[in-house]
Amino acid sequence: MDGTTNKTSMIVAVIVALLVGAAAGYYIGLSRGAAPQAAAEAGEQGEASPNPFRAATTNPFEGGYRNPFGEAKTNPFAQ
């Protein structure tokens, strides 16, 4: 009986510690109020930045196709 009582008390202690930690984290998060301020700042920055997908300069083939391996040597040991 001693082993099961010890195991049960350990499980209860872990559950209580998790609940206390979650409650403390929630209370500290509410008291600081950092999340709403950060969300508001991110929203303001997002509205000011342009949409990169609507820009006309994002097309890499706009000036014509260029083979990136066109000037590469096929055999570096050949003379």
Phi, psi (deg, nearest 5) at residue 14: -65, -45
Per-residue pLDDT of the chain (79 residues; tens, 9 = 90+): 566 788 999 999 999 999 999 999 988 877 776 666 777 777 676 666 666 666 666 666 777 777 777 777 777 777 6
Per the CB < 8 A criterion, the answer to whether 26 and 20 are in contact is no
pLDDT attached to residue 14: 96
pLDDT attached to residue 64: 77
pLDDT attached to residue 56: 61
Q: What is the pTM of this model?
A: 0.40
pLDDT attached to residue 33: 64
Q: What is the CA radius of gyration of the chain?
A: 31
